[in-house]
Structure formats: structure tokens, C-alpha cells
Structure 1
């Protein structure tokens, strides 16, 4: 299963999620950001690649819907509701990600 994690600048939240979930249970994970200054900016290719798209906040869902509209048809999009209050690989962020992502997908 291919998991795409989206935040604003692709610096802390989504790269943390990518790092902890990539290759776990044979999942593939990628991350991207919605803002112009993002480390990796989300593209149509990311949308097409993903089986599930996880956004950190409602604003990220709005941004990708506005930009990619029809490409999102049939895609599962989940708002993890994680504010921009964490640094890369913050232990509290990892704990939150583990719980909220596990609510959506099965881990062995």
C-alpha cells in the first residue's frame, strides 16, 4: 500500500511520517508539502501514486482539492488533525502518528 503524507512545508510532520511508515509492513511512504517553499512540493504524480493520502490539517485537504480536483476521485483522504507544533522525529509527534494512522490501516 502506498501512503502519502502532506503538510505545509514538508519539513517536520510529513517527513517524520514518511520515515516511520516507509517499508513498515511493506508499505511505501512518501511526503510532500502544499506551499510554494515546500522542501518537496506535491504534484499530480504524488496523487496518482498514492493509495491513501494523509493530510495534517484541514487546510491541506482544501489546498489539494483546489489544485488537483478530479485527480482525487476515488482516493481516500484522511485528515490526521496534527497542528504544526512539532519538530522532525519529535517523540510526541511519532506517538500521535502511530495512533492516528493505525486507526485507518492495519499493521501486523
Structure 2
């Protein structure tokens, strides 16, 4: 079973929503974390060790992840969902967008 980690900036809106949606719809183990120093759930090497697939919300976050945690990304599948910071936690439009991007997450 694939472990999927969702990453955004502060782990308050997009990544926890995506984790909940994907866990429900795909039945896969999910988790979430944020790249910012003030994230509700700060990204750690343990998060990355647990994950098989890592999905970030924005290209800039993917670049930042690669710069900050390159040593922990070997063998990981990296995906960018291209979801902007325009949504609230569990906002129906965000849920629909995550659902529409499931093909990027699943092989």
C-alpha cells in the first residue's frame, strides 16, 4: 500500500484537505505537513521516510522541498498538484480540485 504525504506551506488548508480526500477516496494511508517554520505540522525527515509518494501543492514548494530535504527524497515519487492558496480547509471547490487531480497521485 502506498503512503502518500501532502505538503503545502502551513499545513492548515490544502494539505490536510488533500490527505482527507485521498484517504477517503483511495483508501491509501495519507499524512500532511508544511514547509513553513510556523506550519501547524512542520515537515520532518520522519514524514519523508514514511512516504512513498510526496504531493506538493505548488511548483515553488517542490523547488523548496528539493533544496531543503534533497537527502531524504531518494527513491520517492514527487508530484505537483498545482493547487493555489485560494481555498479554505475542506472547501467544496478544493475537494473537487483534489479529486480532479487524483490521476497525478495514483500511478
TM over 0.5, shorter chain: yes
Which residue in the other structure is 1:60 paired with? 61
Deviation at 1:67, TM superposition (A): 1.3
Contact 1:16–1:88, Cα closer than 8 Å, also in 2: yes
1:1-108 → structure 2 map (5 Å cutoff): 1-22=2-23, 24-105=25-106
Q: State the 4+ residue runs in structure 1 displaced beyond 3 angstroms.
A: 23-26
Separation in 2, partners of 1:81, 1:50: 20
Contact 2:81–2:104, Cα closer than 8 Å, also in 1: no
Separation in 1, partners of 2:27, 2:95: 19
Q: State the secondary structure of the residue aligned to 1:37.
A: coil
Unaligned runs of 5+ in 2: none
Aligned length: 106
* TM-score using structure 2 length: 0.91
Contact 2:79–2:104, Cα closer than 8 Å, also in 1: no
